[in-house]
Amino acid sequence: MAEAKSQLSGRAQGHGRSPMAASGRGAAQACPAEFGQPFSKGIFVHADGAGGGDRDARLFWQAGVDPSVVVAEAKPISPSHIDAFDIARFADKADLVMDGHGHEALLLDDGEHQIQLDIRRGTLGKGPVRLRYVVEGNHQVDAKLRTLTRLRAFQRLGRFPKALFPIETGAAKWALALHAFDGAASGASHREIAVALYSERRVAEEWNGASDFLRMRVRRLLTFARRMVDGEYTKLLH
């Protein structure tokens, strides 16, 4: 449930990978410490603070689940090289985690948008590197090229240009579905959910009226939310 809820709210961004270790934002060149929570249904949640309600929590996706995640290899290079990439430059916007196999995942987040790289060879935690990107096949190439375009812009500007992140037209529905699901999980009736979403005045005027539009809208939101929780949230990534 938490995974789907985070996806609905976070984008309104698998199996078999080992638990991750986290270095934390602002400590990009420190050795990652062991972090004891594994991926669940393709998602890993890293929170530096006190747990589930932490507003600083970060979502990491398995590359096999989110097509925008770019796999790369990192090779040490001189800081003066034209291709040098050093996450120390972006320490306050970078989150680096590591799994038990030594594979790293980097999340770059400017507070509004984010991208993720999976480092399958080498490390980003020991200074400047040259990145070699692994892009295979045709099915997911567009999503990965968008990530690389955003990465290049981030390296130049220290932020992501809004123009590279088109408005997600489904975000409003996802947010409403999330609120409806939370209400139902807390024991709220459909009417109470409608009040929370659409105002008490509107519900008083329409709930018992000739049209069942509002009732059906709440039901559709809950049906959508339950499908997302049951695993369809991964379709939002494609």
Q: Where are the domains of the chain?
A: 14-164, 171-237
Q: Would you give the distance in Å from CA 64 to the centre of its chain?
A: 14
Which pLDDT does position 57 carry in this prediction? 65
Which among 109, 112, 72 is positioned nearest to 93, based on CA atoms? 109
> What phi and psi, each to the nearest 5 degrees, are found at residue 147?
-60, -45
Question: Two tokens at 83?
Answer: 């291709």
- What are the C-alpha distances in Å from 98 to residues 18, 27, 53, 213? 10, 13, 23, 49
Q: Which residues fall within 8 angstroms of residue 53, CB to CB, at 6 or more apart? A: none
d(C-alpha 20, C-alpha 79), whole Å:
28
Give the model's pLDDT for residue 19: 37
Distance separating alpha carbons of residues 147 and 116, to the nearest angstrom = 8
Q: Which residues of the chain have pLDDT under 50?
A: 1-23, 27-30, 32-36, 38, 47-55
Which pLDDT score is estimated for 49? 38
The per-residue pLDDT for 87 is: 93
The residues facing 105 across adjacent strands are 97, 118
